[in-house]
Amino acid sequence: MSFIVRQIAKRADGSDIVRTRTLTATEISVGRGTDCDIQLADLGIMLRHARLTLMPGGVVALEATGGIPLEIDGKFLNRAELRVADRPAINMASHRLTLVPGDSIGDGPDMVEITAERVIAASDAADAGAETEIFSLKGAMPTRRAMAWVLAAAILLGGLLWPVLMMTGHEEPVPEAMVAVAARPGSTPPDGAMIKTSMQPDIVWSSGALSSAHAGLANSCNACHLEAFEATPDRACVACHKPAVVPAHAAHDRLDLGRPQLAGSGLVAAHVKDGLGLEGGRCASCHKEHEGAAAPANLLEGDGGCAQCHDGLSGRLKDTKLVNAPSWDEHPQFRATLVRAAGAIPKFERLSLEKAPQERSGLIYPHALHLSRTNAVANMLRKQGLPGQNGALGCAYCHQPDSDGVRFKPIEMEANCGACHDLAFARDGEVVRTLPHGKPAQVAGIIRDFYLSQSLSPRAGVSRLSFDRKRPGVVEALGASSPAQARGRADRAIDMIFDKQGLCADCHQTRNTGAANAAARWEVASVSLNDHYLPLALFPHKQHRTYDGKTGEAACLACHDGARTSKVSSDVLLPKLATCQECHGGSEVRTNVAATCDTCHVYHGDSGQPVGAGLPVVAGKPGHGAWSGGGSWRPEPLAKAVAVERSARRGAGLEG
């Protein structure tokens, strides 16, 4: 009846030291205490931890004496009886006791061999890695290589791969409201137009906010970036901004010719851009995007220099009809677009105001006569109770501002002249019969019919009103003895209406063709009234309603000072450049109002619109066809009228 105890300890080099003892007793104690039969130096073990009692039949009774249960086959027990033949193992703290029958090594059947060894290494086990773990950051951080790979992979995935996949396989639509706004430039985009579509992965490539006009495109990169590695082409721009609405400044080849040769840093910059595939002359060469949420007009590259090309332009662009404009101080005198020959398609010509040019509108109209406070016009004004200014017919009686206050409504005979120059020719009871304006053949026919009907079937209360102001009060006899006499009277009446003393000749030049038929005998010269003398510039009249402390009529006459004295309509009453330069100019001008090129001119487009109101909208704008074509005036379909006007102006040399 004995135990064989084998205690295994580790050497520093890792090999085992085995100490074997034989204890002849039926009961042995295990613990940390020095009085124990099996002493285990393990602070997790109680001083007296357990007692083992050898029982007959190869059974060992186990009892925990330290108050800590013993772990046997994963179970924690205070008391157990173990069959030695099962080779049980008892765990206590860091140590393990393994029991095997002694006879396995030939010591007799009632011997039990106990192997005690430390199975959990002591905490101070020194290994080569410990020093590095403790003293370098390797023990506390993931490796730098791992962090680098993870970071780089995440960046390449989110910043390059994902956007590229979206770019190649997905087209984000342009918000429809924005396309509609682009067709009507100058109008304020409705709030809805700026509602962006949903965010796309390529948003991470956006180098800055889009301009206020393009804010709604923020997620539609493909609207402008059509092809990879291709600089934003013009076809992306004109998809929304139709050339009819935003015309080019000039043809590409003419722009190239007009541009001065680059030198120095400008030349270097141009070469760099060329080398990088940033071709010049594109919309995007000037219109910069991703430069912040300002208005597009404030995000231009190279906006500082109209004079770059327009100074000495004629030297480079030999056939240009434009005069060189080096600066505001050296701005050429205004060259007004004047009617040189009235007609269905009037002939225009640009002439410098320096040479006191004459306009040939075909109309007889002395401004001085109509602005007098003392003559028959002033009397008529009073009698008829017409609106006037200080007892005279004011400017505004005829020149009424158009809806945007930039220019004036077209002059219409019925509206502007008709109150005095009425065309009444007969009284028929309560009805005053009038002649149609602008239709000489109709007039002749109506007069002839009137006389013939009165001669054949005279009616009471019908009388002819005389146009002849030399013979007031004379009432013409209408009865006739024969149709031939009546016809003779009618022909005379027609001649009197059209001839030099007649009604028409107050305002029109008439010509007797000598035709036998009185209805076809008279021609009235065409009248073409100018509606835009300086069509290459913008002059918003409403912004000049006060001038030099003057308002109203006085402000008009401050610039158009010839109006009071002008006796013929061929006088051109436009102010010269010097008048503008009284206020607009540099520091030497006391008012110091801006005088940059774009104060008056726009880059895209050839007709005037107020500054800041955007570009002209051709379709749907009322009031075109503003000239009156005299006797042969016909309303033109709008688009045709615009085309005709443009072609006429082109003939006058407006488009260089």
Torsion angle of C-alpha atoms 130, 131, 136, 139, degrees rounded to 10: 0
Residues 230-259 interacting with another protein (rule: CB under 8 A): 230-232
How many Å apart are CA 334 and CA 329, to the nearest integer? 13
Is residue 596 within the footprint of another protein (CB under 8 A)?
Answer: no
Nearer residue to another protein within complex by CB, 125 or 593: 125
Is residue 141 within the footprint of another protein (CB under 8 A)?
Answer: yes
Is residue 291 within the footprint of another protein (CB under 8 A)?
Answer: yes
Is residue 477 within the footprint of another protein (CB under 8 A)?
Answer: no
Dihedral sign, Cα of residue 599, residue 604, residue 606, residue 611: negative
How many Å apart are CA 441 and CA 521, to the nearest integer? 9
What is the closest distance, in whole angstroms, from the C-beta atom of residue 595 to another protein in the complex? 21
Q: Kind and range of the H or E element at 166?
A: helix 162-169
Q: Kind and range of the H or E element at 368?
A: helix 367-371
Using CB under 8 A, which of 149, 262, 384, 565 touches another protein?
A: 149
Is residue 265 within the footprint of another protein (CB under 8 A)?
Answer: yes
Is residue 374 within the footprint of another protein (CB under 8 A)?
Answer: no
First to last CA, the chain: 128
What is the closest distance, in whole angstroms, from the C-beta atom of residue 178 to another protein in the complex? 19
What is the closest distance, in whole angstroms, from the C-beta atom of residue 160 to another protein in the complex? 4
**Residue matched to tokens 């390059």:** 160
Q: Three-state SS for 335?
A: strand
Is residue 43 within the footprint of another protein (CB under 8 A)?
Answer: yes
Stretch in the footprint of another protein (CB under 8 A) among 163-171, 396-404, 509-517, 607-615: 163-171
Burial 44-76 (b: 16+ CB within 10 A, else e): ebbebbbbbebeeebbbebebbbebebebeeee
From the list 326, 407, 417, 364, the residue with the least C-alpha distance to 570 is 364
Stretch in the footprint of another protein (CB under 8 A) among 186-194, 221-229, 486-494, 575-583: 221-229
Nearer residue to another protein within complex by CB, 202 or 571: 202
Using CB under 8 A, which of 268, 424, 619, 639 touches another protein?
A: 268
Is residue 33 within the footprint of another protein (CB under 8 A)?
Answer: yes
Residues 405-434 interacting with another protein (rule: CB under 8 A): none
Is residue 29 within the footprint of another protein (CB under 8 A)?
Answer: no
Is residue 293 within the footprint of another protein (CB under 8 A)?
Answer: no
| Residue 117 CA neighbour count, 13 Å, CB half | 17
Is residue 151 within the footprint of another protein (CB under 8 A)?
Answer: yes
Nearer residue to another protein within complex by CB, 151 or 424: 151
CA 520 to chain centre: 58
Is residue 593 within the footprint of another protein (CB under 8 A)?
Answer: no
Angle, nearest 10°, between helix axes 483-498 and 440-456?
150
Instruction: Please tell me the count of residues contacting another protein according to CB under 8 A.
Output: 71
Binding mask 172-211 for another protein (x = CB under 8 A): ------------------------------xxxxxxxx--
Binding mask 47-66 for another protein (x = CB under 8 A): x------------------x
Stretch in the footprint of another protein (CB under 8 A) among 53-61, 123-131, 177-185, 256-264: 123-131
Using CB under 8 A, which of 218, 278, 577, 644 touches another protein?
A: 278
What is the closest distance, in whole angstroms, from the C-beta atom of residue 553 to another protein in the complex? 44
What is the closest distance, in whole angstroms, from the C-beta atom of residue 119 to another protein in the complex? 16
Question: What residues pair up with 23 in beta bridges, in sequence order?
Answer: 3
Burial 109-135 (b: 16+ CB within 10 A, else e): ebbbbbbbbbeeeeeeeeeeeeeeeee
Q: Three-state SS for 48?
A: coil
State the CB neighbour count (10 A cutoff) for residue 86. Answer: 13
Is residue 483 within the footprint of another protein (CB under 8 A)?
Answer: no
Q: Report the largest interatomic distance among the alpha carbons of the chain, rounded to a whole angstrom.
A: 179
Stretch in the footprint of another protein (CB under 8 A) among 43-51, 310-318, 375-383, 476-484: 43-51
How many Å apart are CA 458 and CA 461, to the nearest integer? 9
Is residue 214 within the footprint of another protein (CB under 8 A)?
Answer: no
What is the closest distance, in whole angstroms, from the C-beta atom of residue 216 to another protein in the complex? 18
From the list 46, 45, 79, 82, the residue with the least C-alpha distance to 63 is 79
DSSP 110-137: TEEEEEEEE-S--TT---HHHHHHHHSG
Nearer residue to another protein within complex by CB, 225 or 624: 225
What is the closest distance, in whole angstroms, from the C-beta atom of residue 528 to another protein in the complex? 44
DSSP state of 389: B
DSSP state of 21: E
Is residue 76 within the footprint of another protein (CB under 8 A)?
Answer: no
Nearer residue to another protein within complex by CB, 177 or 215: 215
Residue 171: which residues within 8 A CB-CB, separation 6 or more?
Answer: 222
Long-range contacts of 618-621 (CB under 8 A, 24+ apart): 618/244, 618/245, 618/642
Using CB under 8 A, which of 59, 85, 164, 323 touches another protein?
A: 164
Is residue 292 within the footprint of another protein (CB under 8 A)?
Answer: yes
